[in-house]
Structure 1
Amino acid sequence: MIYFDNSATTIPYAESLRTYQEVASKIFGNPSSLHNLGTKASRILEASRKQIADLLGVKSNEILFTSGGTESDNWVIKGVAFEKERYGKHIIVSDIEHPAVKESAKWLSQHGFEVSYAPVTSQGFVDLDQLAALLRPDTILVSVMAVNNEIGAIQPIQAISELLADKPTIAFHVDAVQAIGKIPTQSYLTDRVDFASFSAHKFHGVRGVGFIYRKEGKKLQPLLTGGGQEGDMRSTTENVAGIAATAKALRLVMDKEETALPKIALMRNLIHDELAKFEDISIFSGMSDDFAPNILTFGIKGVRGEVVVHAFEEHEIYISTTSACSSKAGKPAGTLIAMGVPTKQAQTAVRISLDDDNDMSQVEQFLTIFKQVYNKTQKVR
């Protein structure tokens, strides 16, 4: 089996799974309980929070745990909107955001808020001039992802931070779900960023765990009320075992960055160079440093993406069409449409997303099967 769909989800590290099993079986107390078992669980919870905060260069009280990236995005978008609505009801999100952000913004537009969508260039980057033109006195939130999940474009978070530097009343949220272990932390967690979203299963943790960064002093309305967990911000019993496994995975993936990223980029570049030799191939991802090293999106002209995905699956090679959250709906890649790519061409898009777990022998096998798939589609092309 060759797994080239790491942007959808990663294979959990064995060490992360061992941490989960050990904590789940031995430290099973409710961290809110007053007895010794609860105290032990609470200590693990807070130690994990501190480890995550230290790895990201933030404070422990700036980390709040969630069930994943979707909840994190929903919480920030809706929580900031309702917290700041007395100051304004205008929100800006980029035109290429993940559905967790765009659908949250759409929901808010049905509840009295106004949403503007910042357009992107033909390369897939937020257009800074057009973003600046959308800013208004009643703007309360700007949300832009760090790394685009469909083509790998690294968004200009530093430039947006500078744009918002003299606008402290506007909250700045970054969806960093695809950023961990792929780009330097300082490139997306700038001093101007107020909130950021993360998901453990994107960096070899277990599913069902995420967290948000909330800059100290920034206010956010809770979405879940009840028992007062997470500083009365998210009331539900914390997934201590999953959180401990997340801290372990984050440490491991960040420890590997220096050696992993050049390796991943080398594999992507080789695939790119080979695919570029074929006449009927469209390559949508750029190769500059402005693109994450792990994502390569391409299409075979005239062949729908799902056909290509299943053709590779017959050889136990797993790739994807668009984002995992949208692929089953059969929609063309939303990022490509926003970039101005014609719909029929966007429908051909498939995404390879690599990881340190992959190696050159897998790349060689992929390219061998690609040639077979390409030749079989000759009549369609």
Structure 2
Amino acid sequence: MRYFDYAATTPPFEEVITTIAEVMRRHYGNPSSMHRFGEDADKLLKRSREVCAAALGVHPAEIVFTSGATESNNLAIKGAAIQYQARGKHIVTVSTEHPSVYEACKQLTDLGFEVTFLPVDAQGHVSTEQVCDAVRQDTILVSIMHVNNETGRVQPLHDIGAALKKQFPRVLFHVDGVQGYGKLPVDIRGWQADLYSLSAHKLRGPKGAGLLFVREGVKLFPLLSGGSQEQGLRAGTENVPLLVGMSKAVRLAGERQAETARRMTEWRDRVVAEVKTIPQLRLNSGEEAPHIVHFSYPGMKAEVLLHTLEQLGVAVSTRSACSSKLAEPSRVLLAMGRSELEASGGIRISFGDEHTEQDIDELILALRQAVAKLESLERWKH
């Protein structure tokens, strides 16, 4: 079985697995304890923070460790909203954001906040002008993802960040960077982002570990009360083994980004060209993120094509893993103007750095065979 669902999760680097096991075995102390076992764990935690900060081009004190992207996004959005509500209660985001951003913003509306969900064009893009036009006197936060988790669309973060800081310097700018790191260059300072979320298991690290960059001077209301860990922003004993493993994965993914992107771009272009030759399929992604190809089979339920491909030895996904078991059409595709038939038949193929040319050959062959099989069944029914 060939695995093409790296946008959902990734197999950890062997070095990461080894490191986590070693830390669990040898460094089990609580990093908040004052004895030698605690001090050893705390040193590992400090070094992990330094490694992640260096990879992102920020200061170690600006890194807050979390349990993953969902917590990072919720801490960024809700933490900022509650902290700065005296300035205003308006937030700007995009209609195609990941559920951990979209639902967090919707939840805030129940608490009296107002959220503008910006529309996107047929390609899934939002313009800098749209963002700035939506900002009001009472806007406190703008949240825009780097790479869309379903379609791979890349948003113009440099332009948006520059415009926001020039015209609205008091408005915070949050970037959900989960699908971009390790595939595309990341420039937190250049984007002028105040908050940036990352998840370890999307870049061949462990599940259950993530981070939030919080620019120096930005304050957040903690969502978890308790101890003073993570500068008081995230109470709870840090999971030292997973965080050490994450720091190694962040370093390795960052070091290999350019070569990984080059190889995945070649594979993406091959698959995109193949999809264009199959009349039953409609391409929803473009030549932006190197690791994602998304298309629809209008009139065919996505899970039918998914399981047909699985029978042929290829594992893909229908949408974000967080939403893949939902029956309704893709919110992202509907926002892009696709019909309900198209939005119900979406398939996402996502690559990883372990894939080979042979894997891509097998994927393309399986895709041809699956569509031919389903088309034959449809003709037989009629």
Task: Give me the TM-score of the superposition, normalised by structure 2.
Answer: 0.96
Which residue is equivalent to 2:123? 123
Q: How does 1:1-381 map to 2 (within 5 A)?
A: 1-166=1-166, 167-186=168-187, 189-287=189-287, 291-378=288-375, 379-380=377-378
Does the CA contact (< 8 Å) of 1:275 and 1:281 recur in 2?
yes
Deviation at 1:272, TM superposition (A): 1.2
Deviation at 1:380, TM superposition (A): 2.9
Does the CA contact (< 8 Å) of 1:225 and 1:234 recur in 2?
yes
The whole-number CA distance in structure 2 between the counterparts of 1:358 and 1:189 is 32
Does the CA contact (< 8 Å) of 2:298 and 2:341 recur in 1?
no
What amino acid is the match of 1:175?
Answer: D
Deviation at 1:26, TM superposition (A): 0.2
The whole-number CA distance in structure 1 between the counterparts of 2:331 and 2:219 is 31
Q: Which moved more, 1:36-45 or 1:223-232?
A: 223-232
The whole-number CA distance in structure 1 between the counterparts of 2:231 and 2:89 is 27
Structure 2's unaligned 5+ residue stretches are none
Does the CA contact (< 8 Å) of 1:150 and 1:333 recur in 2?
no
Deviation at 1:127, TM superposition (A): 3.0
Q: Which moved more, 1:35-44 or 1:116-125?
A: 116-125
Does the CA contact (< 8 Å) of 2:2 and 2:314 recur in 1?
yes
Secondary structure, aligned partner of 2:353: coil
Does the CA contact (< 8 Å) of 1:29 and 1:41 recur in 2?
yes
Does the CA contact (< 8 Å) of 1:302 and 1:348 recur in 2?
yes
What amino acid is the match of 2:172?
Answer: A
Deviation at 1:192, TM superposition (A): 1.7
Does the CA contact (< 8 Å) of 1:181 and 1:203 recur in 2?
yes
What amino acid is the match of 1:375?
Answer: A
1:128-164 Cα distance to aligned partner (Å, 9 max, x none): 3322221100000000000000110111111111220
Task: Give me the TM-score of the superposition, normalised by structure 1.
Answer: 0.97
Deviation at 1:231, TM superposition (A): 1.3
Does the CA contact (< 8 Å) of 1:8 and 1:324 recur in 2?
yes
Deviation at 1:189, TM superposition (A): 5.0
Secondary structure, aligned partner of 2:322: helix
The whole-number CA distance in structure 2 between the counterparts of 1:190 and 1:78 is 24
The whole-number CA distance in structure 2 between the counterparts of 1:129 and 1:216 is 27
Does the CA contact (< 8 Å) of 2:92 and 2:118 recur in 1?
yes
What amino acid is the match of 1:110?
Answer: D
1:185-239 Cα distance to aligned partner (Å, 9 max, x none): 12x5535200011100000000000000000111111111111111111110001
1:84-106 Cα distance to aligned partner (Å, 9 max, x none): 00010001111111110111111
Does the CA contact (< 8 Å) of 1:106 and 1:115 recur in 2?
yes
The whole-number CA distance in structure 1 between the counterparts of 2:195 and 2:292 is 25
The whole-number CA distance in structure 2 between the counterparts of 1:380 and 1:130 is 43
The percent identity for this pair of structures is: 40
Does the CA contact (< 8 Å) of 1:119 and 1:127 recur in 2?
no
1:317-371 Cα distance to aligned partner (Å, 9 max, x none): 1100011011111232222111111111111110000011111101111111112
What amino acid is the match of 2:40?
Answer: K
What amino acid is the match of 1:176?
Answer: G
What amino acid is the match of 1:14?
Answer: E
What amino acid is the match of 2:32?
Answer: S
Does the CA contact (< 8 Å) of 1:302 and 1:380 recur in 2?
no
What amino acid is the match of 2:321?
Answer: A
1:44-85 Cα distance to aligned partner (Å, 9 max, x none): 000000000011110000000000000000111100000000
What amino acid is the match of 1:380?
Answer: E
